[in-house]
Amino acid sequence: MQHLKSKRYKFIADPGDVRLGERLGSDGSRADVVIVGAPWDGAVGTRPGSRLAPSKIRQSLFTAPYQGGFTISDWGDVNTVVGDHEETWRRVSSACIEALSSSSELLLIGGDSTVSYCAFKALRNHTQSKIAYVSLDAHPDVRSISEGLTSGQVVRWVREVDKQASTCVVGIRRHSNAPYLFNEAESLGVKLYDVEEALEPAFLGELENLVGNATLHLSINMDVVDPAFAPGVNSPSPGGFTSREVIGLVEKIAKRFKPRIVDLVEYTPAYDLGDITAMLGATLLAKSIWIQKV
């Protein structure tokens, strides 16, 4: 048809400039990297809206330059059930199990951070190897609440699924968390690192001791970034990583530990400004792709 573009995600006619969105395989196809969206925010108390994140993240991710050397497929979004978290979580886990069987690296776009727990359950189901769960987050997410549901419990649930998994949270802000949570984390065997510790040159050595050759699940909660660089989150906390710092950290982790799953959670588009949080989130996902066949 006349004057209709066959390629999306690009506005300039430059054949040498290939975008990631131009290399996508079709839904359900096997690929080095498989993308799944989990548009669910039913466990968010403060600023809901991360159910709208997957489409916004894709918009930025698919305009990123394709670096070559890997195949990538977007399987679309999990069909979530509004008001039914158990059925939704079952479906997210099930989609992740399928995606793990068809890829070397799964990129899961949340959604609130409970979808990270679903992905972790899927990974535990998929592999016999030792797993490490590294969460980049301002909060330890080890709450124990008297009623209801919160995404602030995810790391506690991860511990319940696999007590042997090495588990740590990187980017903690002391000033934004109740003191009891630090004791909870310690008694659950969850190692916490604040922002300053994570920026020390020795930090990668710390991770080396913790992760080693385990199968890595890396969870990136966008609130780990300073709200000046990532305002579009459910639970912002001042004093986080700059965008440059978090990009460097994710790149180093991806290169060294080759994560089997990378999830991006808690991005909340309604609170974003000029898509800066979406652009950063998409960049972090692009940097987390470690497969390079060339």
Give the footprint of Mn ion on this chain (CB under 5 A).
Answer: 137-139, 221, 223
Phi-psi region of 189 (alpha: psi -120 to 50; beta: other; left: phi over 0): left
223 vs 226, beta carbon nearer Mn ion: 223
Provide, rounded to whole angstroms, the least separation between the CB of residue 212 and Mn ion.
Answer: 26
Question: How many whole angstroms separate alpha carbon 290 and alpha carbon 292?
Answer: 6
**Token couple for 177:** 């968390």
Provide, rounded to whole angstroms, the least separation between the CB of residue 88 and Mn ion.
Answer: 20
Question: How many whole angstroms separate alpha carbon 80 and alpha carbon 51?
Answer: 10
Residue of this chain nearest to Mn ion (CB atom): 139
138 vs 216, beta carbon nearer Mn ion: 138
121 vs 143, beta carbon nearer Mn ion: 143
Question: How many whole angstroms separate alpha carbon 2 and alpha carbon 5?
Answer: 9
Alpha carbon 66 to its chain centroid, in Å, reads 20
Provide, rounded to whole angstroms, the least separation between the CB of residue 79 and Mn ion.
Answer: 26
31 vs 230, beta carbon nearer Mn ion: 230
Provide, rounded to whole angstroms, the least separation between the CB of residue 135 and Mn ion.
Answer: 9
Triad 163, 164, 166: Cα angle to 5°: 105
Provide, rounded to whole angstroms, the least separation between the CB of residue 139 and Mn ion.
Answer: 4
Q: How far apart are the first and last CA of the chain?
A: 36
24 vs 284, beta carbon nearer Mn ion: 284
77 vs 141, beta carbon nearer Mn ion: 141
**Token couple for 87:** 């059925």
Q: What is the CA radius of gyration of the chain?
A: 18
111 close to 72: Cβ distance less than 8 angstroms: no
The DSSP bridge pattern shows strands 191-194 and 33-38 to be: unpaired
Provide, rounded to whole angstroms, the least separation between the CB of residue 143 and Mn ion.
Answer: 11
